[in-house]
Amino acid sequence: VFEIQQACQNCSSFILMPKENNSLTLEEISDLLIDNAFQLKTFTGSMLSLHKKNKINIYNSGRIVIMTKDLNEVKELARELSDILYKK
């Protein structure tokens, strides 16, 4: 569901871009994420800031930023987030 992009070579974050144009209703997904062991840090209306091993920002555009340099952790979180956010 996501294309993984590194923000920049010196940055310690990766960006998950939805392959399809998906907008998210953050109010609806925040409870789903909390039920799946994500810790809610901040909700601004257009962004959810969460923590699960790493800091994660989810934007209502569907774009997700994961703060880590570990690509394996990003892939693991991408699979988990895909299962939670885009269940068919």
pLDDT at 60: 87
Closest CA to 58 of 87, 36, 27, 83: 27
| Whole-number percent of the chain with pLDDT over 90 | 67
pLDDT at 77: 96
Give me the chain's average pLDDT, please: 90
All domains in the chain, ordered by first residue: 2-85 (3.30.310)
Q: pLDDT band at 86, cuts 50/70/90? A: confident
Q: pLDDT band at 9, cuts 50/70/90? A: confident
pLDDT at 28: 86
Residue linked to tokens 């799946």? 36
Residue 50 phi/psi, 5° resolution? -130, 170
